[in-house]
């Protein structure tokens, strides 16, 4: 992995020169891992496990004593420096020692209070918005990254199989979610996001929180889950039924599945993200359910569960080979329930390689 991190750092440094910057301060946890291998998690925006300060010549990892050993072990290309009185004072000291006059920062991943303290500490030296270079870099995966994502998905499917084995009337949403979490911590590094288990009318809520509701015969049960393994995420959704659903729910399920297939057939390098969304949305519109499809078609997956590209009607950017995306149309009827089906795939030169198993589909189509 040292070669991989070195290559990423070299590309970043070229950007520093092009933008007339002396350094960049990395506070996004996923970007920190992407550039260094340091896997510690931030407890909150105001309690970080560390930052990277990358100059044109040095790789520095700034943290406190809690993470010293982990940082030195996981980020061998970086020199670990500890702060005792907070990161801004250490950054100011380094600005003076390394003659840093202009430094980039990540505005979406630093609190206003921390940024204010940093600017005051380094004045008259300046911070400037670094832009989205790292997020664009992360959007296209190399082979080692896609292999990690495939392995995370493989583990997630094993856990999913175990969890649905206890599906029966009377089991609660929380009990299913607990089985998923237990499996993900035993077989992976944990979940890539809190699992969603939504039954009956709760399945009309795209991001429902598992509760004490008991599952009933014939109703939809949306299960959305993913594994985090070796720093990379997976994501999948299936809508399950115990017994036969009614004809209305069968129709909705069939429409969602047709929309998913239409989008998967459409996706390839060069198409716009918004047009991939439209490919699925047109199918749902044809059956009269467009107003019940209330989110975008999908999103990128990598070191974060949600990253570029967004497969949304708002995104005019073109898809590229190497991107890993979800394809997850849904229909949600308030008071009745909903259906979502989600696959994950790697965009190849000739289309999309779906890496989610074809299992756990219901065939309600005539």
Q: List, for residues 314-356, the tens digit of each pLDDT value.
A: 999 999 999 999 999 999 999 999 999 999 999 999 999 999 9
pLDDT at 310: 97
DSSP 312-364: STT--PBP-TTBEEEE--EEEETTTEEEE-BEEEEEETTEEEE-S-S-S----
107 and 167 share one domain? no
66 and 104 share one domain? yes
Q: Is residue 60 a contact partner of residue 53, using CB atoms and an 8 Å limit? A: yes
270 and 347 share one domain? yes
Mean pLDDT value across residues 249-262: 97
Which residue, of 138, 167, 183, is where some domain finishes?
138
pTM, 2 dp: 0.94
Which residue, of 84, 109, 138, is where some domain finishes?
138
Domain containing 165 equals: 140-354
256 and 147 share one domain? yes
Within a domain: 257: yes
Within a domain: 364: no
105 and 147 share one domain? no
The domain that contains 131 carries what CATH number? 3.40.350.10
202 and 112 share one domain? no
Which residue, of 138, 169, 199, is where some domain finishes?
138
43 and 64 share one domain? yes
Name the helix (H) or strand (E) containing 83. none
pLDDT band at 199 (very low <50, low <70, confident <90, very high): very high
72 and 124 share one domain? yes
The domain that contains 276 carries what CATH number? 3.90.230.10
281 and 189 share one domain? yes
Within a domain: 366: no
192 and 209 share one domain? yes
260 and 154 share one domain? yes
Number of residues in the chain: 366
Within a domain: 360: no
Within a domain: 182: yes
Cα–Cα distance, 105 to 295 (Å, whole number): 30
Mean pLDDT value across residues 286-291: 97
332 and 215 share one domain? yes
pLDDT band at 366 (very low <50, low <70, confident <90, very high): low
């Amino acid at each position: 992995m040292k070669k991989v991190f070195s290559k990423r750092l070299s590309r970043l440094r070229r950007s520093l020169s092009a933008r007339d910057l002396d350094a960049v301060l990395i506070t996004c946890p996923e970007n920190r891992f992407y550039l260094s291998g340091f896997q510690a998690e931030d407890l909150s925006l105001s309690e970080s496990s560390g930052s990277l300060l990358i100059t044109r010549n040095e790789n520095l990892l700034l943290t406190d004593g809690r993470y010293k050993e982990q940082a030195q072990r996981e980020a061998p290309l970086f020199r670990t420096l500890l702060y005792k009185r907070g990161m801004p004072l250490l950054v100011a000291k380094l600005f003076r020692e390394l003659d840093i006059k202009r430094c980039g920062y990540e505005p979406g991943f630093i609190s206003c209070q921390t940024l204010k303290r940093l600017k005051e500490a380094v004045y008259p030296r300046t911070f400037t918005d670094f832009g989205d270079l790292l997020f664009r870099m992360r959007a296209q995966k190399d082979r080692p990254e896609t292999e990690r994502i495939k392995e995370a998905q493989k583990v997630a499917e094993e856990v999913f199989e175990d969890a649905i084995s206890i599906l029966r009337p009377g089991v609660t949403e929380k009990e299913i979610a607990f089985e998923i979490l237990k499996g993900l911590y035993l077989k992976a590094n944990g979940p890539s996001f809190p699992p969603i288990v939504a039954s009956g009318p709760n399945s009309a809520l795209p991001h429902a929180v598992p509760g004490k509701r008991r599952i009933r015969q014939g109703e939809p049960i949306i299960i959305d889950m993913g594994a985090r393994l070796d720093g990379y995420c997976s994501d999948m959704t299936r809508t399950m039924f115990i017994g036969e659903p009614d004809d209305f729910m069968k129709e909705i399920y069939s429409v969602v599945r047709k929309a998913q297939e239409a989008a998967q057939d459409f996706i390839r390098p060069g198409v716009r993200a918004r047009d991939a969304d439209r490919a699925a949305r047109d199918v749902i519109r044809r059956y009269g359910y467009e107003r019940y499809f209330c989110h975008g078609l999908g999103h990128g997956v990598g070191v974060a569960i949600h990253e570029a590209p967004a497969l949304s009607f708002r995104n005019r950017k073109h898809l590229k080979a190497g991107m890993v995306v979800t394809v997850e149309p849904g229909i949600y009827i308030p008071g009745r329930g909903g259906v979502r089906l989600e696959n994950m795939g790697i965009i190849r030169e000739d289309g999309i390689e779906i890496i989610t198993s074809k299992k756990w589909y219901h065939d309600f189509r005539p």
